[in-house]
Amino acid sequence: MAQAPPPTGSRIQQLGDRLIVHFRPRRSWGALTFLAFWLTFWTAGGIAAFTRLLNADRNERVFLIVWLCFWAFGESAAAGVIAWQLFGGELLLVTPQQIEVRKQIGRFAKTKLYEVPLVRDLTAARAPSDEDERPRKDFCIQFAYDGGTVRVGEGMSEREAEHIAATLSARIRPRTWWGEESQAEPYDDPFEAAAPAAPRRSRRLGILMQIVFPLIVLAAIATLLVAGRRDSHQRPAAQPPPADASPRGPVWPPTEDQFASMRVLASATTFSSLMSAKTTVLSPPVCRPHPTWSEWTCTVTARPTLPPFAGRTLRYRCSAVTTPQPGGGPVGRGVLCGPDPPPSLGG
């Protein structure tokens, strides 16, 4: 499929090997006006209930505490919707190893990570709408992940969404350059067998604002009640530190049976070797005919980011090398990459 041309005022920003796409939530001014009007009276009702709670008898206190629980839920939900539409933003950060989706309101953010080897069918799709709502005209980014569907962003035209989807696919699926020997069956990701289970994170911004804030309100109510009746203080329980859920990257080098052909293996190995050396690949690798597991050579245009040739566009040659082991041990295998021909340091 041909890649759509970049639209005017693209949301995409590239920082080193990281691609960042900015999204803004869709604003519904009718809903914002209604929520602001409703929240004003709802907040006044909560303040009146708090004031009454300090001088209420036992039976009335029970009723007010239950009512304030629902009040805190509604207060946090409405405030969260208003803050999200006015000040919220969504970021899509893409590296060759993972996709990070971050929703944030000021300093508060919710982040979810997706391992690239488990991402499938990244494409542009029409933004979802409710069953009783007319189909929306804007588009979003959609991909399949671990048996589910993930949608990111909204408010894009079809042309812009297709351009962003094509750019992201080229970043996380560079080996599509080497699909000259594609098969009829769907291509199996060579990293899938080596990729660890994706971290499952259930933190959601809406749940966070709707649960944590009411809990804080309840703790404050309990503190007021205990202080008024027993003159004591309630200390909140310490939260355990979060477990380390940092993702682990795929294992390299791969095995021979993970690739459809030796040419695809040689191309993938060339790309991985240069990327691990902080070198940006600018063209598809071109490999010599009839490569084997132990003998192959590929050339590619790339730009290193490390001295002494940082920032220069050079032609690189990568070849398979074998190293005999002393004592008749198994032969070591590796990859040797370097500029071809070697440029002068002052050039």
Which of 135-139, 239-243, 244-248 has maximum average pLDDT?
A: 135-139
For residues 43-61, give the mean pLDDT: 86
Q: Three-state SS for 158? A: helix
Mean of per-residue pLDDT scores for the chain? 74
What are φ and ψ of residue 102, in 5° steps? -125, 120
pLDDT for 244 beyond 50: no
- Per cent of the chain over pLDDT 70 is 71
DSSP 163-196: HHHHHHHHHH-GGGGGGGG--SSPPPPTTTTTSP
Neighbouring C-beta atoms of residue 124, cutoff 10 Å:
21
**Tens-digit pLDDT profile for residues 142-185:** 889 888 888 888 778 888 888 888 888 888 776 544 444 444 34
Cα(35)–Cα(48) distance, integer angstroms: 20
- Per cent of the chain over pLDDT 90 is 1
Token reading at 82? 């208003």
User: Amino acid identity, residue 68?
Assistant: L
For residues 240-263, give the mean pLDDT: 55
Nearest C-alpha neighbor of 100 from the set 87, 117, 116:
116
Neighbouring residues of 340: CB distance < 8 A, sequence distance ≥ 6: 299, 315, 316, 317
Nearest C-alpha neighbor of 194 from the set 266, 118, 270:
118
- Please tell me the total number of residues recorded for the chain in this structure: 347
Query: How does DSSP classify residue 96?
Result: S
Residue 298 confidence class, pLDDT cut points 50, 70, 90: very high
pLDDT for 259 beyond 60: yes
**Tens-digit pLDDT profile for residues 2-37:** 444 444 445 777 777 788 888 887 777 888 888 889
101 vs 192, residue with greater confidence: 101
Global pTM value = 0.43
**Tens-digit pLDDT profile for residues 204-234:** 445 555 566 666 666 666 666 655 565 444 4
Whole-angstrom Cα Rg for the chain? 28
Extended beta strands in the chain, E state: 12-15, 18-23, 88-94, 98-105, 108-115, 119-126, 139-145, 148-156, 279-281, 286-287, 297-304, 314-323, 332-339
Q: Domain coordinates of the chain in residue numbers?
A: 1-250, 256-339
Cα(123)–Cα(92) distance, integer angstroms: 14
Token reading at 29? 């001014």
Cα(65)–Cα(52) distance, integer angstroms: 11
